[in-house]
Amino acid sequence: LALLSFIAEVKKDNVIFAMEEPEIALPPHTQRRIAKYLLEETTQCFVTSHSPYVIERFDPSQIIILRRSAEAAVESTTVASGTTLKGKMYKRHARRGLAEAMLGPGVIVAEGITEHSALTTVAAKMEQADPDLFALDLAGITIFPVDGDGSLPNFGAFFKALGLRTYAFYDYKPRKAEENQKFVEAFDIPNEIPYPNIEELLVTQTPVEHQWTFLSALRDSGDQGNIGIPAERPDDNGVRANMRKALKSNKGNGYAARLLDLCAVHELPVGITDFLTRVYEDFPKPTPASQPDDEPADEEDGEDLVGG
């Protein structure tokens, strides 16, 4: 900042600042200060960045996303192209994942924090079990949670306008035809689960034995609160009722992830694995480029090598 101030003072209005990734080796608060300085104390500046702490300081109309196409051409899109998000909504989500999501090739918009936790956990287990899957992180796919299904179409339309492939993961509820059409227009794959909430999907599609294992550990830890987990195992319906209560009353405590961690890959909820499989199919693992030296020797050369 001292160097920037010195240059600006010496050159006055004749300086155009160009900074490449100012976030490198700097803590978040310093990144914010640099961005603030550039916006308030300079007349012209160009900044390249992947940091949400830098990006959030700029108005959407000032942000241009650069991408390289399949033909190796550089293409640009202004963030202002996604006009479906109002200023307050944009600012609220800018640091929490919006900047990360809009820089990738695709995004999964999840209805809430429990959906986000469940998708993240299941994806990690699927990727660990199958090395042929291209990890979502490596593919640049962000799982982005929002606050309820009402804001899903707005975020979907925003990301789609920026050129991303868009996915939605949300609960079932009766909707008017025009409401469903908003999801169809905003998302390439709008995935509505066949349950009124994610908790019902988890309770229905995970082994009841794992649910009781989780509930027993929660009871013994003394952290069950008002759930009322019994000392003796109830019947399966009783276990599910307790699990449902635990999930619904503790949405921010990571209970969904802890339950799913107990499951083997083949025991994971099909309502989640089937959806994620569609995402993995859209973003397959890249095939390594072959090198000239990698070509196998022909049969005659092979015989010569072994002294035939």
Average pLDDT, the chain: 86
| Distance in angstroms (rounded) separating the CA atoms of residues 149 and 171 | 8
In the predicted model, what is the mean pLDDT of residues 173-201?
A: 96
Q: In the predicted model, is pLDDT for residue 308 greater than 60?
A: no
Residue predicted with more confidence, 194 or 13: 194
227 pLDDT above the threshold of 50:
yes
pLDDT band at 93 (very low <50, low <70, confident <90, very high): confident
This prediction's pTM: 0.83
pLDDT at 307: 42
In the structure, what pLDDT confidence band is assigned to residue 287 with cuts at 50, 70 and 90?
confident
Average pLDDT over residues 181-196: 97
pLDDT of residue 226: 81
